[in-house]
């Protein structure tokens, strides 16, 4: 029944901040139908709090997701390794995003919006529980009481039998993970029933943090390709068509961060929201995260410099987006401002330091991902299974193979006598 700042949001893709004066959204996420009633005018304090909170919430998953991704990259567990985005993936992503966006637009035009959002809500309900549980896991490890026993569990779902058996789901968890899952489920039920903005933000922050943590770029050029392609994608679908705005208003899922502008007037029941899509957090966040990975010797001393520079560039770009949107009262694709800032600032710093060539030629995959030991030969061992395991571990470890020579060799009597004769002959020659 009043004006509301809304951000267009798309699943797993980038989305702009949008200022819309035709629709309002209540606490249950339903659109108001009467736009002729007196317009809501946010107070300067409410507007500043909403926009400031959005910027702060956007920085949280970028900063902590980047730090967790570095630790994840150092892990020796292959299941914890982040997925690498290559140049080919970056070039195809805007095309896939465009097809997904237009497909959603057609779905909302053909089918009932209510049923589509019901299916999407259940889908993101499951994903949100898993994402929030994974986000809470490190914190739970720190506060979990040491006197409580920890039990291990495994959820295994296979297909076929015998040699054709194939694992579909193999999820291992313990008591701490169970507690995280229970808490996340409570938040999920709260979101499904009430669509409350706090529950939406908890899921949104979890999605963004996991997106930054579990994806990383293999080089700076890939980041430029990804940001450049999404720059064109964002500008075209916002300024060139009404597709993104239509989908953003119709799509109900926790893939955006929201904060009410009427919080001072209505408290936690506020319903006039400023919104920011998760794509404007995850995509630039992956580019910022790259500067935290181990760099070659020429850049090692400046790794943190590039990260802080990119971090400040993101704040500057997001601030510009909010300022232009608030000033001109029109939908703004955030990447229109984030891409030049996130690429331009680090490039200027690299030019000033004379490291531009090194920065663009650096490949992170070889230094981030630990080398997996390989079994170079297959020993024959008799005895217990523990003996077999120890022998295989020794044979697969290059260090042990170099530093620990075999204690004995099986030599025939003839070979032993021949060696003794050679040794005696060498002594006589000396």
Choosing from 5, 20, 262, 280, which is the catalytic residue? 280
Q: Is 3 an annotated catalytic residue?
A: no
Q: Which among 363, 356, 200 is positioned nearest to 275, based on CA atoms?
A: 200
Task: Give the SS3 label for residue 157.
Answer: strand
What CA–CA distances, in Å, run from 337 to 52, 254, 310, 332, 334?
17, 24, 13, 9, 6
CA 158 to chain centre: 28
Q: How many helices (H) and strands (E) does the chain have?
A: 16, 8
Closest to 93 measured CA to CA, from 242, 215, 241, 256: 215
* Phi, psi for residue 158 in degrees, rounded to 5: -120, 165
- How far apart, in whole angstroms, are the C-alpha atoms of residue 70 and residue 77? 13
Catalytic one among 3, 20, 177, 234? 234
The residues pairing with 159 across neighbouring beta strands, listed in sequence order, are 166
Handedness of CA 288, 294, 296, 298 (dihedral sign): positive
Q: Which residues contact 55 (CB under 8 A, 6 or more apart)?
A: 315, 318, 319, 322
Q: Which of 103, 94, 78 is nearest to 14 (CA)?
A: 94
Q: Assign 151 to helix, strand or coil.
A: coil
- Which three-class secondary structure state does DSSP give residue 409? coil
d(CA 8, CA 310): 24
Q: Is 80 a catalytic residue?
A: no
Q: Which of 256, 261, 194, 239 is nearest to 24 (CA)?
A: 261
Residue in the structure block whose two tokens are 């053909």: 110
Are 272 and 20 a contacting pair, CB within 8 Å?
Answer: no
- SS3 letters across 10-60: CCCCCCCEEEECCCCECCCCCECCCCCCCCCCCCHHHHHHHHHHHHHHHHH
Catalytic residues: 234, 280
């Amino acid at each position: 029944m009043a004006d509301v700042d809304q951000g267009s949001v798309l699943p797993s893709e980038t989305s702009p901040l949008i200022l819309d004066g035709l629709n309002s959204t209540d606490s249950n996420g339903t659109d108001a139908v009467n736009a002729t009633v007196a317009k809501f005018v946010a107070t300067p304090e409410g507007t500043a709090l909403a926009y400031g909170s959005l910027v702060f919430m956007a920085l949280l998953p970028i900063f902590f997701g980047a730090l967790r991704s570095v630790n994840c990259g150092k892990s020796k567990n292959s299941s914890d390794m982040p997925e690498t985005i290559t140049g080919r993936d970056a070039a195809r992503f805007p095309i896939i995003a465009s097809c997904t966006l237009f497909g959603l637009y057609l779905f909302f035009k053909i089918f009932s919006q209510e049923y589509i959002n019901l299916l999407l809500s259940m889908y993101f309900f499951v994903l949100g529980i898993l994402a929030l549980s994974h986000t809470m896991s490190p914190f739970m490890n720190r506060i979990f009481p040491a006197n409580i026993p920890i039990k291990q569990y495994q959820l295994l779902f296979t297909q076929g039998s015998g040699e054709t058996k194939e694992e579909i789901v193999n999820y291992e968890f313990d008591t701490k993970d169970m507690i995280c899952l229970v808490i996340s489920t409570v938040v999920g039920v709260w979101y499904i029933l009430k669509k409350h903005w706090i529950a939406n933000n908890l899921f949104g922050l979890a999605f963004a943090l996991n997106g930054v943590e579990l994806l990383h770029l293999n080089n700076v050029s890939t980041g430029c390709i990804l940001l450049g392609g999404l720059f064109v994608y964002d500008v075209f679908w916002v300024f060139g068509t009404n597709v993104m705005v239509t989908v953003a208003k119709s799509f109900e899922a926790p893939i955006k961060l929201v904060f009410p502008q009427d919080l001072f007037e209505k408290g936690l029941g506020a319903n006039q929201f400023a919104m920011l899509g998760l794509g404007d957090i995850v995509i630039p966040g992956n580019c910022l995260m790259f500067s935290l990975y181990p760099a070659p010797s020429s850049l090692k001393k400046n790794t943190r410099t590039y990260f802080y520079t990119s971090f400040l560039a993101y704040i500057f770009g997001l601030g510009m987006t909010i300022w232009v949107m608030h000033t001109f009262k029109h939908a703004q694709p955030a990447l229109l401002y984030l891409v030049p800032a996130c690429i331009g600032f680090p490039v200027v710093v690299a030019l000033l330091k004379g490291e531009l060539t090194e920065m663009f030629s650096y490949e992170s995959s070889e230094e981030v991902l630990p080398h997996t030991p390989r079994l170079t030969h297959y020993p024959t061992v008799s005895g217990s299974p523990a003996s077999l395991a120890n022998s295989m571990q020794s044979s697969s470890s290059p260090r042990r193979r170099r530093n620990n020579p075999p204690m004995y060799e099986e030599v025939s009597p003839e070979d032993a006598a021949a060696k003794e004769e050679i040794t005696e002959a060498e002594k006589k020659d000396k």
